[in-house]
Amino acid sequence: MAQRVISFHYTLTDTAGKVLDSSKGAQPFSFIEGVGQIVPGLEKELVGLNKGDKKKINVPAAEAYGQRIEELVARVPKAQIDSPAVKIGDRFRGGDDAHSPVFVVTEVTGDEVVLDGNHPLAGKDLVFDVEMIGAREVTAQEIEHGHAHGEHGHAH
């Protein structure tokens, strides 16, 4: 079976119904199936849908962004941070490599800063309300580039 580009609209909520993200009013989200571009619990449900299908998909944390890992939370001296005006929400890469983990400042107290390397949605069960827009065969250029292109070809 050939790989496909799957396109869908979604509204993402937590289990209490709080909207976390949505594609409404924007382009549908598109991904190449089978290459890990979206959370596994959502992808496994989308691959069976057809154009026009609508579905509410519950994705447990383990099949979304995983469980929180407390070892990825560190308390460090403020003096170690390269920013004198460090504040909650600031992001820092944990190394020089483009694939180094990103840490978010979650607390600033006195001369200490708390950095969290977990994804912001780690440990959360998620609900995706989706509408399938369509699926098509992936192009050679999309495979080479590692991502889906827009409806009319290359669109970065």
CATH number of the structural domain spanning residue 99? 2.40.10.330
**In this structure, is residue 156 part of a structural domain?**
no
Ranges of residues in the chain with a pLDDT under 50 are 152-156
136 and 112 belong to one structural domain: no
pLDDT in tens, 78-121: 888 877 789 999 998 888 888 888 899 999 998 999 999 999 99
pTM listed for this prediction: 0.80
State how far the alpha carbon of 58 is from the alpha carbons of 25, 35, 48, 128, 130, in Å.
23, 21, 15, 6, 11
59 and 85 belong to one structural domain: no
What strands, in cross-sheet order, belong to the sheet with 102-109? 73-77, 112-116, 102-109, 91-93
Alpha-carbon distance 112 to 66, whole Å? 27
**In this structure, is residue 41 part of a structural domain?**
yes
40 and 80 belong to one structural domain: no
111 and 126 belong to one structural domain: no
Q: How many domains does the chain have?
A: 2
8 and 75 belong to one structural domain: no
Containing domain of residue 126, as a range?
A: 4-65+122-145
Q: What DSSP designation does 153 have?
A: B
60 and 129 belong to one structural domain: yes
Q: What is the pLDDT of residue 154?
A: 45
Q: What is the pLDDT of residue 119?
A: 93
Rounded to an integer, what is the distance from CA 8 to the centroid of its chain? Answer: 15
CB 100 within 8 A of CB 94: yes
Rounded to an integer, what is the distance from CA 115 to the centroid of its chain? Answer: 19
CATH, residue 133: 3.10.50.40
Residue 55 bridge partners (DSSP): 130
**In this structure, is residue 153 part of a structural domain?**
no
